[in-house]
């Protein structure tokens, strides 16, 4: 069992000059983001739409009712967000507010000038290295532009309420919302990876996720047992349990802690994380060259691999259907792309 009391990494943290968010994004998250970034003027339109949901009002609310960290307030947390921006080569140090709330929580708000909010419950729950991961997680959200999912969900939820009187209007919007929620959950896995790149301490990330699940008494918990719990959750019992897991996830913005624990453990021990630490990663100056079709194929591959690795019987029943649908979608996309090139 790893030493659960260690509070500092064994070596100095590495910096990643020019790193693209594509380096750490989950393939399903990355494919959606690359597609959205390829739409000319999309960011401008989204920022204008996000203004409809009182982003400025929220900023003023926290400015008036919370504590803004800085050199003279919560300096240790200010150092963490500054370090996260430095390690991930982010141009600006995001504003960060501490709000009095016993519920452990962290969030990133806004798309124009995003800011981070941490609750006092979270600060009291985590040690400094665990908190460093959470701050890096939130900075990863900003670097990826994940506010796009939240904004689109708000817009579609509002639109769905207005179209509820149409026979199929709300159903169509609901299907899109389910897709966006799935992307959003994958965005949380992406941000977990950004948090690991910031802390460069896998044990701290695991400790944080265990505490988020079970509270501060870390001495009563065990990483190996928590990992077994994750495998048990994955395997479920029968097809009914798998279906219930799927239904439980529909209203969640985050994957369950055991799932995040297993995912970050796998990524931390894999070649992708190792290559990034060695300086081999996609650069921001190559973002415009990223191809939507390649990223969609990568996302399909990632889903297939996860389906093949899972012991969930419900996923097993759906695997053949999903593989067929993915292949059909890939063929259709290739034909459309070929026709578009032909016209050009």
25-63: per-residue pLDDT in tens? 988 777 767 766 665 555 565 556 555 556 778 889 999
The residues carrying an active-site annotation are 138
Question: Is the Cβ–Cβ distance between 15 and 87 less than 8 Å?
Answer: yes
Cα–Cα distance measured from residue 168 to residue 21, given in angstroms and rounded to the nearest whole number: 37
Q: 0.85 cut: is pTM over it?
A: no
Cα–Cα distance measured from residue 176 to residue 123, given in angstroms and rounded to the nearest whole number: 35
Q: Give percent of the chain with pLDDT exceeding 70.
A: 63
Does position 22 have pLDDT exceeding 80, yes or no?
yes
Backbone dihedral angles phi then psi of residue 108, each to the nearest 5 degrees = -115, 130
Question: Is the Cβ–Cβ distance between 18 and 285 less than 8 Å?
Answer: yes
Backbone dihedral angles phi then psi of residue 106, each to the nearest 5 degrees = -145, 145
pLDDT at position 69 is: 98
Question: Which runs of consecutive H residues, i.e. helices, occur in the chain?
Answer: 27-37, 42-50, 55-65, 75-87, 120-125, 128-144, 147-162, 169-199, 202-214, 223-235, 239-249, 257-268, 271-277, 292-309, 313-343
Q: For strand 115-119 and strand 67-68, is the pairing parallel, antiparallel, or unpaired?
A: unpaired
């Amino acid at each position: 069992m790893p030493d659960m009391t260690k509070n500092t990494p064994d070596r100095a943290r590495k910096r990643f000059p020019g790193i693209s968010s594509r380096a750490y994004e989950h393939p399903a998250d990355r494919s959606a983001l690359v597609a959205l970034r390829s739409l000319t003027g999309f960011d401008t339109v989204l920022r204008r739409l996000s203004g409809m949901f009182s982003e400025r009002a929220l900023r003023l609310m926290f400015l008036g009712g919370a504590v803004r960290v800085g050199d003279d307030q919560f300096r240790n947390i200010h150092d963490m967000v500054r370090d996260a921006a430095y390690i991930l080569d982010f141009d600006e140090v995001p504003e960060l507010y501490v709000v009095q709330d016993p519920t452990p929580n962290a969030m990133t708000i806004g798309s124009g000038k995003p800011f981070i909010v941490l609750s006092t419950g979270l600060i009291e729950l985590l040690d400094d290295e665990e908190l460093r991961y959470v701050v890096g997680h939130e900075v990863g959200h900003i670097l990826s532009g994940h506010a796009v999912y939240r904004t689109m969900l708000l817009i579609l939820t509002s639109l769905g309420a207005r179209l509820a009187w149409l026979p199929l209007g709300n159903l169509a919007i609901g299907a899109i919302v389910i897709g966006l929620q799935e992307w959003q959950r994958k965005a949380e896995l992406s941000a977990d990876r950004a948090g690991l790149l910031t802390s460069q301490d896998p044990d701290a990330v695991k400790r944080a996720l265990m505490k988020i699940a079970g509270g501060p008494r870390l001495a009563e918990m065990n990483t190996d047992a928590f990992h077994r719990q994750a495998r048990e959750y994955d395997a479920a019992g029968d097809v009914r349990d798998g279906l219930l897991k799927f239904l439980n996830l529909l209203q969640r913005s985050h994957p369950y802690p055991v799932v995040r624990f297993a995912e970050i453990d796998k990524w931390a021990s894999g070649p992708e994380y190792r290559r990034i630490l060695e300086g081999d990663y996609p650069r921001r100056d190559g973002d415009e060259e990223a191809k939507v079709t390649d990223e969609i194929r990568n996302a399909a591959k990632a889903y297939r691999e996860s389906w093949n690795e899972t012991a969930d019987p419900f996923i097993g029943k759906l695997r053949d259907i999903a593989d067929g649908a993915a292949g059909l979608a890939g063929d259709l996309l290739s034909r459309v792309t070929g026709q578009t090139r032909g016209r050009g």
